[in-house]
Amino acid sequence: GGGGHVEDYSFSFEGPFGKYDTNQLQRGLQIYTEVCAACHGLKQVPIRTLADEGGPSLPEDQVRAYAAQTFEVFDPELEDFRPAKPTDHFPANTAAGAPDLSLMAKSRAGFHGPYGTGINQLFKGIGGPEYIASILAGYEEAPDCAPEDFNGYYNTVFAPGGYPDECKIYDEHGVEIGRKAPGSWIAMAPPLAGEDVEFADGHSNELHHEAQDVAAFLMWAAEPKMMARKQAGLVGVIFLTILSVLLYLTNKRLWAPVK
């Protein structure tokens, strides 16, 4: 409990025919690079996958330039740092306490209900990218009940962070029965305020757009083969449907003389 409302943003990759939006992934990559990479790593993601079809689909030469100009990696053979190559992975995180984001979009759920059953996930999806976008847009001024020097930044969506006793509601036995404000205090300062980046495609850089773009990029990072998986699933359903029809007809025919 204690988590705030996760906005059910709609993403292009939802549903059985959903696809990543190449332009959105490129914008998300830009936000990750210019803002998030200052603290967070993506150590499980090979840089070369930025060229993959169905992903950000950058041209190969652009990927090479991006790797070399953006990141330095330690090369054990050279015993020194060198510009990154497409075959390297994104670097690991640099700031203490900032978790790696490679799998973040799959390790967090946005939807839990009703009553914790998770049934909403059947219709809305697990909600990882919605959760990330909501956190980024979920910072607010701390409620009046909180002491001014309380550690961290008040976020209406983040649940597991610190929470001041002054904002808890207790019954007469001193048992906590509620909270005056949703969310909790997170160690990450608000990374996005809106207008943090300029997009080459002129797309809006309002806070909630930036938040969705970087969340979509992190979904791709966590599940780059989502489209192939959905396609395989669809082929499976079609195949099983045809097989069922054939079995039905075979069955009728086999038993026809007996009836």
Which residues are at the interface with ligand HEM (CB under 6 A)?
31, 35-36, 38-40, 95, 97-99, 104, 108, 132, 135-136, 161, 186-189, 191-192, 214
Instruction: Tell the smallest beta-carbon distance from residue 25 to ligand HEM (Å).
Output: 14
Closest to ligand HEM by CB, 64 vs 105, is 105
Instruction: Tell the smallest beta-carbon distance from residue 254 to ligand HEM (Å).
Output: 57
Closest to ligand HEM by CB, 64 vs 131, is 131
Closest to ligand HEM by CB, 31 vs 142, is 31
Closest to ligand HEM by CB, 30 vs 64, is 30
Closest to ligand HEM by CB, 60 vs 195, is 195
Neighbours of 189 (CB within 10 A): 9
Angle CA(23)–CA(47)–CA(223) in degrees, nearest 5?
65
Of 128, 137, 132, 169, nearest to 155 by C-alpha is 137
Instruction: Tell the smallest beta-carbon distance from residue 70 to ligand HEM (Å).
Output: 15
Instruction: Tell the smallest beta-carbon distance from residue 129 to ligand HEM (Å).
Output: 10
Q: Give the whole-angstrom CA distance, residue 23 versus residue 216.
A: 11
Instruction: Tell the smallest beta-carbon distance from residue 117 to ligand HEM (Å).
Output: 21
Instruction: Tell the smallest beta-carbon distance from residue 102 to ligand HEM (Å).
Output: 11
Closest to ligand HEM by CB, 178 vs 194, is 194
